[in-house]
Structures are given as C-alpha cells and as structure tokens.
Amino acid sequence: EAGVAQSPRYKIIEKRQSVAFWCNPISGHATLYWYQQILGQGPKLLIQFQNNGVVDDSQLPKDRFSAERLKGVDSTLKIQPAKLEDSAVYLCASSRDSGFEGTQYFGPGTRLTVL
Amino acid sequence: SQQGEEDPQALSIQEGENATMNCSYKTSINNLQWYRQNSGRGLVHLILIRSNEREKHSGRLRVTLDTSKKSSSLLITASRAADTASYFCATDAKGYGQNFVFGPGTRLSVLP
C-alpha cells in the first residue's frame, strides 16, 4: 500500500511569512497526526485528528499554527507568521487505530527553514 | 525534564555486537513504543509494549518494560551496519495533557 505522502519536501521562507504543509495519509487510516521535530530532538506532537475532528491540539501554538482535515482524509498545517524557532522538520503520520494504541506510519516530512 | 529519556545519548559498536538502549519515563503509561529514524527510511515504528507486558520480541529486537521502575530497554542483537540510526522511545501516558511524548533519542552507530 502507498505510504503517507507529504509536500513540499523542503521549504525556505523569511520570518513573518506564511507557509502551508500538506499531508495525505494511508487510505483507510482514520487517525492523523502532525509532529514537529527540531534538529537533535525527538518529534513533538502538535495535533491529532480522528477522522475530521480534533482529538488533541494541546501542544499546537494556536496564535500562529492552524491545521485542518477536511472530509477526514488530507490535512494541511499552516504557520502564519513564521518565526525563526519554527525551523524544523514537520512530520505527518497516520494510523488505523484511534489514540496511540497502534502503529503510526510516518511520511518523509517537510524540512522548513525560516531565515 | 521530558517524559521519556533515552540513555545513552550516543552509542558506537562493531557489527555483530549487541546494542542496548534504555528509556526512562515519569508518569503512568498505557503503552511504550520504540521507533527508529534514519535518513533513508525516515521514522519507522519498531515495537509496542503495553503496560501489562514485561517483554516482547520482534526478530533481532527485544524490548523489556519495568513499570515499577518506569523504564524500558531495547536490545538489538547481532547488529548490522544498516541498524545505524537514531532510536526513540515514545510513551502513551495515561490521563489528560501531553499524552504521546518522544524522548530525545539514542544515536547508534554500527561500524563495519
């Protein structure tokens, strides 16, 4: 089966600009996650969707980050405006199971550089 | 400090040797998972162990969980150069708040 798709793979922007990332999960996976991974650290969960509803967005900086999952399939993560500290790899993952009981399948990530 | 922390931060071994990595956490958990990340295949799920389990095996991987000590270990036997990667533990914590947390990882280098 096809894996989790993400685009773009790389993005370079100036601070205060806006950026959006796209994720297409594995077909049939109801749960979708967005993570931020800063260089040298483990991934940090930003938001979790179950179908098109938000389950947990407690770690999402809502003053600048937003995410949506329309029709319970694809998802977009937006940063507006970007800060230097947002430079990181943004990973999308999906799972057939709800919560964190099952295997999460990760996409290749989008590497964001904020100058 | 973080919910999950791996030890050591970095490990270098020869091919054929065994590698052991440890993970400590702070709160009660539903399960603990180990992941591998390298440049070639990205972040890949290795194994999940539930709080009522003490040991699980998958191929050359052996994971143990001691909930009384809030710790887990990952053993890779007969290591190969292809095992070179960063290994992360992640905990599914009980209760509300920050429920799924990755540690900072152990960087494993397997030398041919």
User: Which has the higher per-residue pLDDT, A33 or A70?
Assistant: A33
Chain B CA closest to residue A100: B92
Please give the average per-residue pLDDT across A93-98, as a whole number: 92
What pLDDT does residue A101 have? 83
What was the pLDDT predicted at A5?
97
**Average pLDDT for chain A:** 94
**pLDDT, one tens digit for every residue, chain B (112 residues):** 456 788 899 999 999 999 999 999 998 999 999 999 998 778 999 999 999 999 999 999 999 999 999 999 999 999 999 999 999 999 988 765 567 899 999 999 999 9
* Contacting residues of B for A48, CB less than 8 Å apart: 100
Q: Among A38, A17, A21, which Cα is nearest to A86's?
A: A38
Say what the pLDDT of residue B98 is.
60
For the stretch A17-64, pLDDT in tens is 999 999 999 999 999 999 999 999 999 999 999 988 999 998 999 999
Does residue A8 sit at the B interface (CB-CB below 8 Å)?
no
Average pLDDT over residues A97-103: 85
Q: What residue segments make up the domains of chain A, in order of their start?
A: 5-114
Distance from CA of A66 to the nearest CA of B (A): 18
The pLDDT value given to residue B1: 43
Domain A5-114, second-level architecture: Sandwich (2.60)
For domain B5-95, give its CATH number from 2.60.40.10, 2.120.10.30, 2.60.40.1180, 1.10.1740.10. Answer: 2.60.40.10
- Which pLDDT tens digit goes with each residue over A2-11? 899 999 999 9
Q: Which of A89, A104, A105 to mutate to test the interface with B (most CBs of B within 10 A)?
A: A104
pLDDT of residue B96: 57
Q: What is the mean pLDDT of residues A59-80?
A: 94
